[in-house]
Structures are given as C-alpha cells and as structure tokens.
A and B are shown apart, each in its own frame.
Chain A
C-alpha cells in the first residue's frame, strides 16, 4: 500500500465560506436594486387616493386638468363633435346660441334671434362682444362661419340642418337667415355654429386661432391632443374662474381612472359603468350622472336587397325579442342606461313613446320560422370604443341570438375613419351596426331628420342614415320642421315616430347616462344632459 501523500493544509483547501463569486453576485444584486427600486416604485401604480392633486398647484384662480377619452384633434367642431369635446371647444369659441340646462336654446353672441317670417329668422348681435384680441365680432364672421360649415366634406354639424340657410346682412349688427321651407328649430341648430374671425376661418378644422370664449389658446398640439387654455382676461362677459385648463386625452379607460385617483387629472368623462362604480368608493372623487341625450342602437342595414330576410319588418321585429336587455343592463351596464321606449332618447323635446323592447326568445324563434329565416346569419360591425363596453355587449348579444338559431359574426372596426366607408357600404357588407348618435340641440327633430329624413336623392351619394329612405316619414318630418306651432309640431313628430317604430329599424336601443368623475377639489361643475359643461363657471379649491 503506497504511502499517503500529505494533503493540502486545511487553510489552503476550498471551503464553503463566502467566495468572491458570491460577493460579486450579491454586490450586483444590491446595485441593481438600488438603481431600479425608485423606478419600480414609481411604476407600481397610482399613488394613494389621499394624495392631493398636483394639477391645482399653480397660479391664482387655479388650474384644471381634463383627461378626455378621445383625441381632441381640434378646437373646432366642423368635423369633430363628440360630446366631451364640446366643453373644450366652447370654452374658446362661442356660437350665437347655446343649449341650456333645460335643453332650450339660450342667447350667447346674439342679442336677439327671432323668427320674423315662417322662412326667415332675424338675428341681432350683441354690441359688447369681441374676440380675445378685442377685435369686434362682425356679421361677416357669422356669414363665413355658416358657409364654411356647409363646405367642409362629410360635416357632422351641417348634416343636422334640413337645408343651408341663405344669409343677408341688414346692418352692422343685424342679419337674416332665410330658408326655402320653414325651419322652426334654427335657433337651436345655430348653437353648433362656432364663430371665428372670417379672415382666419377655413373649410377645415381649426386647431388654433381666435375666439370669443372665456379662454384663449396658450398652446395646442392636435397630434397628441394636448391643449393648454388660459383665462381670457378681456372676455366680454363674466370672466372665467379658472386661470388655466390643461386638456389631454387617454384612450385607455384604466389609465384615466388611475390619472384621477392619483390626482394627475381633475376631471374624466364618459366613463364606463364599471369604472364609475369603482370611483364611487373613492372618498376624494365625486361621480356625477345625468340622463343623456345620446342614443345607442343596433341599427339594421336598410341597403339590403329585397331578397334579404332583413328587408322584412317581421324579421327585424323577431330579432328584437331575442335580446335580453334587462340582463345586459344589469350585468354589463351597471344599471346606468335606459332601454329605449321610442326611436329617440326620451330626454329630447318632441319625444313620443312608441313602445318597449321586450325579451321573448320563444316568440323570436316562432316569428323567424314563420318568416323562413330560422338559420339567419348576421354580421355586426362597430367602431372600437364607440360606446362603453361595446365588445362585451356585442359578444353577449351574439350569444342571445345563437339561442334563437341566429349566427352572428362580430367585426370590430378599428379607429381611424374606416367605419365611415363601412357605413356607406363601400368597405364590405354588414347587417347590423352598433352605433351611438349624439344630440347637441335637445330636439328630437334633429335626431329624426338626421336618421330618418333620408331621400332618394341623398341615397344616391349614400348620405342617408344607412339607407333608411321612407318618403312618407321624410314628408312628415319636413312638415314638422316647418310647423311653428309646438303642439302641432309634436303631433307630427309623434306620427313620424310611430311609423318609424312600426318598421323596427333597430334590434335594440338604449340611452346611457352621462357619467363624469371629478376630484372633490373641483366645485360648481354642472354637467348638462348634452354631456358637456360650462368651463367658465368651474372653480377649484386650493
């Protein structure tokens, strides 16, 4: 047996003590932790709900931070008039009239706005009004503004007028608006024509420029939808309470909720029922709800050929019985919407109750079978985020239709304008459109004429509401639009609404409440039914 060699001394043997490698690893971890910990902490989520808003820290009068759900691409409304945008647009530019809290027209830049003849309105401008640079508002500015609203292509506001009024100057402050047929609601319709100096106005959306409103534009970036408004110190009326308003947009609902809970935003609007329920539990936030004037409906495509089952009113009616709207309202809409009882929201002047949507799947099956449409296949389209929880609602509806033997294909159209091509039937075929129809005049007539006042002439250029052309209804609406007597007008509107309802133009329709969340430091914010508020009267506490 060979002799055992001397082993290494104990001190030279490797031990399980801390090695250089371990020290280096530990040092690296510690270094990384020290480096990234602040960043990770910042990303961890909203600050505590009790954190004071940073938006208000600033000049006297206070600063308000509004985070919209859609990009405010301009401070003009020729093309872009979704509800929340109106609030900001009217803080800079004003119209001759505005729609008040009771949905009635009120005078703004006009001293008087009177129907002097059945087809003629005489308007007198206030003598004390001027733009933020103190230049006067002239009748030429009004004439140019009106003309340009009708020149802009696919203008939303112009489409609400039955015809373009002709303009005639009487004197430096007075002019007349004349139409071929009487338009008794012209004073309401003119509330959407925002006035800009004629030399600066163009047949396109304006992101900058002068206005007569209580705020002036300090900076504007239409690409990012970021605007900074400051108080118009030379405002002709009562000056705004706020010194500064910062407007931005955040499409992501969750991010907007985090913005308001963390104090980064003071006001967010048009929020989903789920977010509203969650925000109501926050002690620093008020959630305001008012009945809305926006109608959301599942509107049938009236451009289908006569051979299509959807061209039969009984098939359209049968499909309405497949929708369990009570469950939808409770589970997906948090009881913050009202099922329609007619063809326009009941908040509008001139609304007539024509019926209710009811849920009866057995009747739906029976009627579909009787009409030979048992194996119906429908394609639904909607624009992304057209209304709160749109995808969830439509997925639930497709299940309900499946229960009565109808196969639904869901096609969400991404934002970016393509929906207009789909609506006009240029991008592809569809059967049902899930769509919201806003109202800024408070009048049922505006909705009815915009949706159901189509003519064969308009349909040639696809300018009707998805092919709905019924001459009898159009004639009734024209008659109502020309009727000066309110009772008679409402009677005509009622007849028109009953005839429309009998044609079952929508699978289901509902009116969501306007829901706005504000931090408690924001006071005197009065949300109107048209889902906008007067920024000039908003105040914030320190």
Chain B
C-alpha cells in the first residue's frame, strides 16, 4: 500500500502511484536484486572493497613502521652474534634474527621508515613538480606545452632504473639524493594527467567567466583549475607511492641505496638472498611479504579511490 508523503512544513507531494498512467503505480521489473547485481552497483561495491582491503594491507605495514620508535624493539643495527640466524617465533624475536644476530622485526620496521620517508618525500616533490608543469602546459599551451611535453617524452624514453643507478653512482647514495632521483623519475606521470585534465577544464564556462572578470592567469590556475582537478591527480600521485617504495627497494637491493649498516627493505632482501637456499628463508620472505603488502595495499586504495572519483565525476555531469 502506498501513501502520500505529508510532512509538516513541506509542500504536499502527490503520490505518483495514484497519478493515472504512471508506471510507479505498479511494481517495477527492476528488482532490488537486479539493481544490486548491476554493473554500476558492482563497481561501487568493488571500489569499497578495494579501499578497505587496501587500507588494511597498507595499515598493517604503515602503522607499525610509523610506531617503530615507540615499540619495545631491539636496536636494528646492534645484534648479538650469539643469537645469529634464529628462525621466526624464537624467544624475543618474532621475525627471527639475521646472521649478525639483529632482530629482523626491528630491522624491517626501521628499514620501512627509510623506505616510506623516501617514498613520501619523493611523491610530494614529484607531485608538486608534475602538477605545476602539467597545469602550465595545459593552460598556456604553445611553447610552454611543447617544452614540457617534449621533456616528458624524453624522460619517459630513458630506461628508468639504469638512469637512477647512474645518478646515484655520480652523486653517491644518500637519502636526499635517492629521494630527488625518484622524484625526478616520477614527475611525468602527474604532469601528464594534470595537463590532460587542465586541457578539459580550461574550456569550461567558469574559467571563461574568471577570465572575463579579469583574474590573472596564475590565479585562474591556482584558485580555480587546480582545486577542480586535484582530487583526480592526487589519486595518481598516491599510486606513485607504491612505485617509489619499489624503486627505493630496487636501488638498495642493487647496492645503490642508503649505506650500511642502516637497514632498508631492499638491502635486507639483498643480504638474505644468498642465504635463502641454505634454509634461512625468513631473511628474504618476510621483508618481501611486507613490501608486497604495502604495494598491494596502496595500489588497491588508489584504485578504489580512482573508481570513486570517476563515479562522482560521472554523476556530476
């Protein structure tokens, strides 16, 4: 039985089911089950699942890494040779120890701080550079666009890891150098997406209105264009975090990372790889799983957010 909605203080809304000829007067063939199983609903559900699973995977890694200084962990650099190569779940060593008797959990968490700090700083720098360069290229066009676009293409044609190794070899491995190198490697991605989005946005009436009102071009970019595209660009930048962590680990693995004895994920895996076949599986497997969890988690969150942003944009239009 259908009823009219008669709320106090509101205009009375007619019950459409009682309007002659209205289809609302009968039950629709599109049932709730069908709606739930529609492609749109499935995508919405998947994006929520992705965000939750991703947040859990990344959180399992990021939270302990962030709290490593507060947790009651042994020193990651100093170990006891008498406790050399203990397997996981040994007394006092949840993840076991390395051949130098250092607690692997402590090394993984402290090493994660290095990797994450480098990753976050790198995406901050690359995001900033990418957004500024991409927005300028998209809005101004002409020679600015030509220069930025050719730079993007030139850099993307270079073999990334080899270029990184070359720069680290030239300037020496340190956190600032590695951060800048990774940031430099990653700026094309946000720059490309920013340029593409700005090209679309600059043709919209609100930008024309701002121009007519006499706003400076820089103000139009910073106060109107970038806030409108930032959400989508940030999703791409977030996805770069996983790539930055992987790049840092790759550099450390190849011996071009932060100098010994400070731990990094790539360095721990590199040290443990020759011992893997001798039965000391935990030296490679545990840091490998941690990297995988973080990368999968961040990618899932980014992917889920991207789906949401797309849907929101679609609904807006």
Please tell me which stretch of B74-82, B146-154, B174-182 contacts chain A, meaning at least 4 of its Cβ atoms lie within 8 angstroms of it.
B74-82
- Residue from the list B1, B79, B274 in contact with A254, Cβ < 8 A: B274
With contacts A2-B17, A278-B279 taken as known, whether A391 is within 8 angstroms of B27 at the C-beta atoms is no
Max count, chain B CB within 10 A of own CB: residue among A4, A253, A258: A253
Q: How far is the CA of A159 from the CA of B275 in the complex (A)?
A: 36
Please tell me which stretch of A72-80, A349-357, A407-415, A487-495 contacts chain B, meaning at least 4 of its Cβ atoms lie within 8 angstroms of it.
A407-415
Is A257 at the interface (CB under 8 A from chain B)? yes
Is B64 at the interface (CB under 8 A from chain A)? no
- Please report B residues at the A interface, Cβ cutoff 8 Å: 1, 17, 25-27, 29, 33-34, 37, 77-79, 81-82, 84, 99-101, 255, 259-261, 271, 273-280
Q: List 16 A-B contacts (CB under 8 A).
A: A4-B26, A5-B27, A7-B29, A14-B34, A253-B274, A254-B274, A261-B277, A274-B280, A327-B82, A328-B81, A391-B260, A392-B99, A396-B100, A398-B261, A399-B79, A412-B260
With contacts A2-B17, A14-B37, A410-B260 taken as known, whether A331 is within 8 angstroms of B81 at the C-beta atoms is yes
Which residues of B sit under 8 angstroms from A1, Cβ to Cβ?
1
Q: How far is the CA of A254 from the CA of B255 in the complex (A)?
A: 17
Which residues of A sit under 8 angstroms from B100, Cβ to Cβ?
331-332, 392, 395-396, 399
Main secondary structure of the interface of B (DSSP, over half): loop
Q: Kindly identify, within residues 1 to 40 of chain A, every residue whose CB is under 8 Å from any CB belonging to chain B.
A: 1-5, 7-8, 14
Q: How far is the CA of A358 from the CA of B203 in the complex (A)?
A: 79
Interface bits A40-74 vs B (CB < 8 Å: 1, else 0):
00000000000000000000000000000000000
Q: How far is the CA of A27 from the CA of B263 in the complex (A)?
A: 45
Is A384 at the interface (CB under 8 A from chain B)? yes
With contacts A398-B261, A399-B79 taken as known, whether A258 is within 8 angstroms of B84 at the C-beta atoms is no
Is A538 at the interface (CB under 8 A from chain B)? no
Are A389 and B99 touching (Cβ within 8 A)?
yes
With both beta carbons as reference points, the residue of chain A lying nearest to B33 in the complex is identified as: A14
Are A254 and B37 touching (Cβ within 8 A)?
no
Which residues of B sit under 8 angstroms from A324, Cβ to Cβ?
81
Q: How far is the CA of A411 from the CA of B84 in the complex (A)?
A: 23
Shortest C-beta distance, B80 to chain A (Å), equals 9
- Please report A residues at the B interface, Cβ cutoff 8 Å: 1-5, 7-8, 14, 252-254, 257-258, 261, 272, 274-275, 277-278, 324, 327-328, 330-332, 384, 389, 391-392, 394-396, 398-399, 402, 409-412, 414
Q: How far is the CA of A258 from the CA of B278 in the complex (A)?
A: 10
Q: How many A-B residue pairs have CB under 8 A?
A: 85
- Residue from the list B27, B99, B280 in contact with A332, Cβ < 8 A: B99
Are B277 and A332 touching (Cβ within 8 A)?
no
Max count, chain A CB within 10 A of own CB: residue among B78, B273, B274, B276: B274
Please give 16 more A-B residue pairs, beta carbons under 8 A apart, in addition to A327-B82, A332-B100: A2-B17, A2-B26, A4-B27, A254-B275, A274-B274, A274-B275, A278-B278, A331-B82, A331-B84, A332-B99, A391-B271, A392-B100, A396-B100, A399-B77, A399-B78, A410-B260
Which residues of B sit under 8 angstroms from A261, Cβ to Cβ?
277
Q: How far is the CA of A274 from the CA of B276 in the complex (A)?
A: 10
Are A410 and B261 touching (Cβ within 8 A)?
yes
Are A332 and B81 touching (Cβ within 8 A)?
yes
- Residue from the list B78, B275, B276, B279 in contact with A402, Cβ < 8 A: B78
